[in-house]
Structure 1
């Protein structure tokens, strides 16, 4: 097992006589690349939520039509399934965000 110890510049054999200035970044400071990656993750999550909602709506419409419902009734059931799926995903996201914060 290796143990890495940070040596001061005067203790390190390769840095004798040279001053080494290290700049430590604030951990709360995020780089622009970090903001882009957060935006990409949010957009991908939103896309997945919409796709899951559309699949639920499609399944509800197909089941309604197989049950003998008219097209307007099947479309209404699909809309209700889509809205309820997105509402459930929003509630889960809010709950997870409050737990992780």
Structure 2
């Protein structure tokens, strides 16, 4: 990859490319500010925000549905779990024996 030379004071990138030091095809200078382009940019930005809001709402609805399904799936397990734990606790011997005096 070739490195571009640093422009000298008063020399722009467009001046350099037209003088033959840069790329063979000169890059066109940016057009002057056009307010009609800003309207399009603002409209696209608003459209992106609307799409993001719709996507976010859809994601929240999917997450809520998944959470409800998970709760339904876990209900039988939650009901059985305390009974199993009681059986395990009753059969477990103590770790240390008490000394009799």
Q: Which has the larger radius of gyration?
A: 2
Task: Answer yes or no: same fold by TM over 0.5.
Answer: no
Q: Which has the higher contact order (CA 8 A, sep 6+)?
A: 1
TM class by shorter chain equals 0.3 to 0.5
